Amino acid sequence: MKYSYFPGCSLKGLGRAYEESLLPVMKHLGVELQELEDWNCCGATAYMSVDEAKAGVLAARNLAIAEQNGGHDLLTPCSACYLVLNKTKHNIADFPDIRDRIHCALRSANLTYTGSTRVRHPLDILVHDVGLDVIKEKVVRPLKGLKVAPYYGCQVVRPYSTFDDAWNPTTMDRLLATLGAEVVHYPLKTKCCGGSLTGTLPEAGLRMSYILLKEAVRRGADVIATICPLCQFNMDAYHDQIDRRWGPTRIATVYFTQLMGLAFGFSEKELGLQRNFIPMKPRPVPPVAA
Partner 1 sequence: MKTNGKNGDVRIGFYVCHCGSNIAAMVDCPAVAEYVRKLAGVVVSRDYKYMCSDPGQELIQQDIKEHQLNRVVVASCSPLLHEHTFRNACAAGGLNPFYFQMVNIREHDSWVHSDRAEATAKAKALAHAAIRRVRFHRALEPTRVNIHPDTLIIGGGIAGIHAALLLANAGKKVTLVEREPSIGGHMAQLDKTFPTLDCSACILTPKMSAIRSHPNITLWTYSEVAKVDGYVGNYTVTVKRKPRFIDEELCVGCQECIKACVFKEPKFADEFNVGLGKRKPIYIPFPQAVPQVVVIDPDRCIQVKTGKCKQTCVEACADRHAIDFTQQEELLEIKVGNIIVATGYKLFDATRIPQYGYGRYPNVFTSLELERLVNSSGPTTGEILLRNGQHPRSVGFILCVGSRDMKTNRWCSRTCCMHSMKLAQLIREHTDADVTIFYMDIRAPGKGCEEFYDKSLKDGIQFVRGRVAEVTDWALSPEEEGKLVIRVEDTLAGFVRRIPVDMIVLATGMEPQADAQEVRRLLNMSCSSEGWFLERHPKLAPVATFTDGIFIAGCCQGPKDIPDSIAQAGAAAAEALSLIDKGYIEQEPNTAYIEEADCSGCKSCIPLCPYTAISFDESKQKAVIHAALCKGCGTCVASCPSGSIKQNLFEDEEIFSEIEGVLT
Our CB check for partner 1 shows the closer of 102 and 212 to be 212
Q: What is the rounded distance in angstroms from the CA atom of residue 156 to the CA atom of residue 146?
A: 25
Q: Check: CB of residue 236 under 8 Å from CB of residue 280.
A: no
- What are residue 224's DSSP bridge partners? 149, 253
Strands 182-183 and 2-5: unpaired
If one asks whether residue 188 binds partner 1 (CB under 8 A), the answer comes out as: yes
| Listed ranges 20-28, 29-37, 136-144, 210-218: which one lies at the site for partner 1 (CB under 8 A) | 210-218
Closer residue to partner 1 (CB): 65 or 172: 172
- C-alpha–C-alpha distance, residues 69 and 233, integer Å: 32
# chain residues binding partner 1, by CB under 8 A = 9
Q: Which residue, 100 or 165, is less far from partner 1 as judged by CB? A: 165
Residue 195 to residue 3: CA distance in whole angstroms: 29
Q: Write down the least CB distance from residue 249 to partner 1, Å.
A: 13
In the complex with partner 1, the residue whose CB is nearer, 44 or 184, is 184
Question: Shortest gap between Cβ of 168 and partner 1 (angstroms)?
Answer: 4
Q: Does 114 bind partner 1 (CB under 8 A)?
A: no
165 counts as binding partner 1 under rule CB under 8 A: yes
**Residues 32, 35, 69, 167: which binds partner 1 (CB under 8 A)?**
167
Query: From the CB of 278, what's the least distance to partner 1, in Å?
Result: 21
Nearest to 65, CA basis, from 110, 99, 30? 110
146 half-sphere exposure, CB direction, 13 A CA radius = 29
Q: Is 90 in the site for partner 1 (CB under 8 A)?
A: no
Q: Which helix (H) or strand (E) holds 148?
A: strand 147-151
Cα 72 from chain centre: 19
Binding residue (CB under 8 A) for partner 1 from 211, 268, 270, 279:
211
Residues 224, 153 contacting (CB under 8 angstroms): no
Q: What string of DSSP letters covers 174-225?
A: HHHHHTT-EEPP-TTTTS---TTHHHHSHHHHHHHHHHHHHHHHHTT-SEEE
Sign, CA dihedral 166-65-27-283, equals negative
Task: Map residues 212-251 to x or -, x wherever contact with partner 1 holds by CB under 8 A.
Answer: ---x--x---------------------------------
Q: Least distance to partner 1 from the beta carbon of 111, Å? A: 36
Nearer to partner 1, 169 or 272 (CB): 169
* Residue 137 lies near partner 1 (rule: CB under 8 A): no
The region of 121-129, 211-219, 233-241, 276-284 touching partner 1 under the rule CB under 8 A is 211-219
Question: Applying CB under 8 A, which part among 54-62, 100-108, 129-137, 161-169 lies near partner 1?
Answer: 161-169
Binding footprint of partner 1 on the chain (CB under 8 A): 165-168, 187-188, 211, 215, 218
